[in-house]
Structure 1
Amino acid sequence: MESFCNFFMLAGYYIFYFIIAKKIDYVISLLSTTGFLILFYVIVLIFRNFCFFSALYGELCARLLFLCPLCSKEKNNSAWCKECGVKFLENNFNNWTSGDQIIDNTIKDIQIKSNLPIDFVEWILYEQLEKGEKIGRGGFGDIYSAFWKQGPISMHGNEFKRTRGVKVALKRLMNNDIEKYKSELCMHINCCTNLNLYTTRTQFSTARSPILRCYGLTKDDEGYMIVMQLAKHAADKAQNIQKMQTTSSEFPHNNNLEFPDNTRPGSPDNTSLKSPDRQNCIENNTTSKSTTGQYRDPDQFDLTIP
């Protein structure tokens, strides 16, 4: 009798387990099917809205990239806010002096009118420069290589600071004629500003400036010197300008802008750009289609100027 009862209990267990197992398999199958449908629906939604979200994300990133973290206004480019940059430079006016009022006023005037991180100049203490060897002689004086230990001011996030030193060229003007310094400095800044405003609107927007940057002025025991970018390939800059002249109607054309033989592509002695027209710059910084062509590029060698 006891064996008979055990048999029925064992059979009952098997029947109960079989029913429960079937239910569990059914539930698992149902959940798997539902989960797959939900996942598929989510993928379809993502695919449907991909273009919309990508466009929205791209616009948001662009706005954030060109939004100044200091004033919350749109920056001139991704690396410089004109309003905050000019304010920073103005607040620093009392922290430097060249010892000459004409030079001080010229530098300050250029800084106030600056639009880009490369079209303003500074007064650079000579102690911050490691003077190298003489590398040439131009129409305005001797040219020396040097290393600027602090480097130029640039905008990084919500602050303005100097991040690294740069190689520069020191160009000494003959007879320390301050008015010639002023004319040379203003001439270069006008040319640089016009060309860089052009390059930001064209296919050359990602390229470097087609001319050399002027960092500012300094003074040693012998007199004042212009601190400029030390370029290695002046012919490349000449080629860039020539390309812009021939490929765009927006580029300022003027017959006064010439490229001597030693700056043409492939020339073994690539040293300078020149123009026979040495007009002084327009001091109010006006820009016109004929302005850029009136100025040569006073680069660090400048050896072809008689």
Structure 2
Amino acid sequence: GVSLVIKENNRTATAFYEQGGSGGLELLDKMNLEEFINEKARAVTEVLRKGKSFGERVTDVVLSNMLSGIMAHESVGHPFEADRVLGREFAQAGFSYLNSFKGKIGSDVVTVIDDPTILGSGGFYKIDDEGIEARPKYLIKDGNVNELLHDRFSSVKFNTKSNGSARSAGFDREPLIRMSNTFFKPGNMSFDELIEDVKEGVYIKSYMEWNIDDMRLGQRYVGLEAYEIKNGEIGEPVLFPVLQGKTYELLRSIDAVDNTLVFYPGTCGKGDPDQGVPVWLGGPNMRLRNVRIKVMVNE
């Protein structure tokens, strides 16, 4: 984990980045940490120096792999945990919008997968902590709710079978329904093709903060590294754009995803006493059409 506090041009930003996976010290060589930190510090400094504000507007937004990752984890993964749907998490962490949601949740290009079988990943396992063989779970498929994350207990309640989603943080903790590596499925187009017909929009490459409600329905992202898109090209930095909306509104606004798949590490917390387990979250760059965004000023 890298935490940066940068002040430039009488503006201040806090940035946090993580790198990680399953393996040994050879992972450090692949990460190029010094180069990574220097590049992030330079990019954030440039935003603070040149970032501009344009108030509030409805426009196109392109979210990077990092933003699609946090959305996959927080807006899809957690509300698709069957024990949360049943109400077990209500006192500690909230409920799920799936209790009241009806109809198609996303556009045709939206497919979200939770896959613990990815070698070298943070959320890798072959057998879950109830002895069930791990497999990829398609939570959303072509915009439709497809399956929940289940353990042995919840699967009986839903008249199905466990799909190997029980994980424990240690020998002295109860296995709970958990995510592993949760991501939006990439498409076929390149990043250049993704932005080429965006006449006016914003590209959010990294975020400074995010918020989400107890139902996992209303959410808000504050961009950090963010740039204008004009006539299909990345332009000048934009200062702290704010994207907010309901989960199904944002998922339905996604009309295209590119062919990249980048993962980011995280530690997912759940339960009482709290259990933190390693996960990956990620996806492609995603294009959202006609969403409301506001650029605030931090002086």
Q: Structure 1 length as normaliser, TM-score?
A: 0.23
Q: Which has the higher strand share?
A: 2
